[in-house]
Amino acid sequence: MVVPKIWKRLMANVVDVVFLVLLISLVLGSLETTSRSALFIVLLVLYITGVVYMGIVWQLASVISVLEDLKGIKAMIKSKALIKGKVMVACAIFINLSIMFSLIEFVFETMVVHGEKLGMGMWIRVLCGIVCFLLVMQLFLFGLVVQPVFYVVCKSYHHEIINKSLLADHLQVLCGRVCPYQRQQDNQLEQYDV
């Protein structure tokens, strides 16, 4: 079975382990309280920056693995190369989507999970749960649309050719349908500022 073989890799992410070791050494260390607090804030900022960057690379790699014939590490390398020059745009997209998801999650937890403590009736809590569910679904679908658009923007920024016929053939194999872009000429995208 594959799961037991890769379970350790999934659970022990290098960034998390390094952050945990530094955090424990910081707490148990002999630094002053102000120095400890400053070092903790610096480590926290570095950790969050690393997690956001890895999330961005991973999301673009998932789009690359669907739209191109690259998988795994090759898709991650291609993703990292495509993001160069558009890191701030990618961060803005990732952070905005994460904030929206967190807000919906907060409203759900407050109104639905702990709504009884606030004196809310069952039907109001159910209605809030349905609204939160619909908002999460819309946000999820919006994110799935934004990712390929960002992929095309990155390809445009690096003046890479998008082979429409190859893409149409690839998507036809995945979806089992005929794409309307099949057999059209390839387009070299020009650079646009986004």
Q: Structural domain boundaries of the chain?
A: 1-83
Under DSSP, the state recorded for 13 is -
Taking the alpha carbons at both ends of the chain, their separation in whole angstroms is 46
Q: How many CB atoms within 10 Å of residue 63? A: 21
Taking the whole predicted model, whether its pTM rises above 0.75 is answered as no
Q: Is 32 helix (H, G, I), strand (E, B) or coil?
A: coil
The pLDDT confidence band at residue 193, using thresholds 50, 70 and 90, is: low
CA–CA separation, 168 and 134 (whole Å): 31
Angle at 86 between CA 171 and CA 15, to 5 degrees: 90
Under DSSP, the state recorded for 181 is T
Return the bridge partners of 162, or none: 187
Q: 43-51, long-range: CB within 8 Å, 24+ apart, which pairs?
A: 43/19, 47/15, 47/19, 50/15, 51/15
pLDDT, tens digit, for every residue of 76-126? 888 889 898 888 999 999 899 999 999 999 999 999 888 888 888 889 999
- pLDDT value at position 40? 75
Q: Which residue has the tokens 């036809």?
A: 172
By the 8 A CB rule, do 190 and 156 touch?
yes
